[in-house]
Structure 1
C-alpha cells in the first residue's frame, strides 16, 4: 500500500501539496504515482516565475515505462524548483515526500488547499 503522509493534501492526479504558514507550498508527486511510473529517468521542471492555474500541466515525469504530465494542484506562482532533480530524477522514486519535492509555489489563494483530497480520501482513491 502507498505511503500517504497525514500532513499533506492530495490531487486526484496524484500530486501532493504541503502548505506552509507563509502562504507558500511545496508540490511533488505521490508515492502511488512514482510506484505506478516505475524507475523515473527524467523530470521536466516548471519555470520560476510561471503563473499556474489549478489543474494546469507544469511539467513531465518520464520513466522506463511511460511519460506522465504533472499538474498544479492549486493556482499559484512558481517561486523555486528542485534543481537536484535535473541530475537525480530517481530521487522521485526514493523520496517522493522528502528530497524530491518538485516546486515551491506562492499560493494564489491559500484556502484552495482545502479543496484537495484529505489523506483519508486519497487513500480511498488509491486503495
Structure 2
C-alpha cells in the first residue's frame, strides 16, 4: 500500500509580492527551496494563515537569499503582501517506508524570510 506523506514544509513565511499578470506559480527564494528539498516545477500546497485560503500551484526559483515569496497568476488573488503562509509538498511512498521518513522542515525568520 502507498500513502501520501509530507515531504517538505516551509513554515510561516511572509509573502513579499503578488503578481496577477504572471503566468502562474509561486516564486520561492532558491535558498528556501534548497533547504526544504523542493525542486522547480514541484507541486506545492499553500495555506494562508491570514485568511484560511488553501490552494495548490507549482514552485519556481527566485533569486538566492532574496527572501522572495511571490504568488503569481490566479493564486495572487488568494494572498496579500505580508500575509504569512505555509508551503508544503507531499510524496507518495510505501507504508513501511513512510513510518520512518523524516520530512524537510524549514522555519524561516518571518521578518525577512531568511534562515538565520
Structures share fold, TM-score greater than 0.5: no
Structure-1-length-normalised TM-score: 0.31
Structure-2-length-normalised TM-score: 0.33
| Structure with the larger helix share | 1
Larger radius of gyration: 2
| Structure with the larger strand share | 2
